[in-house]
């Protein structure tokens, strides 16, 4: 795990985890949460401005959360205690059936918590990109990060 002491402004990582999204998943997710024609109806989607089915923005946010949770390469994962908020969510390009998605992040701000000595507050700029390295989704996430326990030596 990456503790607060392992991070600095400008620190960058790309998760190893990849996520491939299927047509069935796009339709099922949107049918439940965001039932707009260009997410759930292939024919309607083809005549829409997207020219085909695209994933709901809520679905994309869930994939972002999922990739952060399932990353197995632990030296890419920060020792997060809790997310404090998300900012600047923007969807830059459509995500279509069969696309394979990955996430990267860069630390843009960090400081020690004033109220809890064992925690820091870190903001990262995250980027989701597809198999052509096109940026599809960006956001900033601010979260509480544990400092390294005294018993544990530096990585």
Residues at the interface with a second copy (CB under 8 A): 32-36, 56-58, 61-62, 65-66, 69, 83-91
Q: How far apart are CA 21 and CA 97, in angstroms?
A: 6
What are the phi and psi torsion angles at 67 (to 5°)? -60, -40
Nearer to a second copy, 2 or 67 (CB): 67
**Token pair for 60:** 């994309």
Tell how far CA 66 is from the center of its chain. Answer: 8
Nearer to a second copy, 85 or 154 (CB): 85
Residue 74 is classified by DSSP as G
Q: How far is the CB of 86 from a second copy (least distance, A)?
A: 4
Nearer to a second copy, 91 or 105 (CB): 91
Cβ atoms of residues 102 and 129 within 8 Å:
yes
Nearer to a second copy, 11 or 52 (CB): 52
Q: How far is the CB of 8 from a second copy (least distance, A)?
A: 26
Length of the chain: 155
């Amino acid at each position: 795990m990456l503790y607060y002491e392992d991070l600095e402004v400008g620190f960058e990582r790309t998760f190893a985890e990849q996520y491939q999204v299927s047509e069935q998943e796009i339709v099922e997710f949107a049918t439940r949460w965001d039932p707009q024609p260009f997410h759930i109806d292939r024919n309607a989607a083809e005549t829409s401005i997207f020219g085909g089915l695209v994933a709901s923005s809520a679905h994309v946010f869930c994939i972002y959360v999922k990739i952060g949770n399932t990353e197995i390469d632990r030296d890419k994962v920060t020792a997060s205690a809790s997310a404090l908020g998300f900012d600047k969510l923007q969807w830059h390009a459509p995500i279509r059936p069969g696309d394979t998605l990955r996430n990267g992040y860069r630390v843009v701000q960090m400081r020690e918590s004033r109220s809890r000595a064992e925690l820091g507050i870190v903001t990262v700029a995250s980027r989701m990109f597809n198999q052509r390295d096109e940026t599809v989704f960006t956001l900033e996430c601010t979260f509480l990060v544990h400092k390294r326990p005294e018993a544990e030596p530096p990585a």
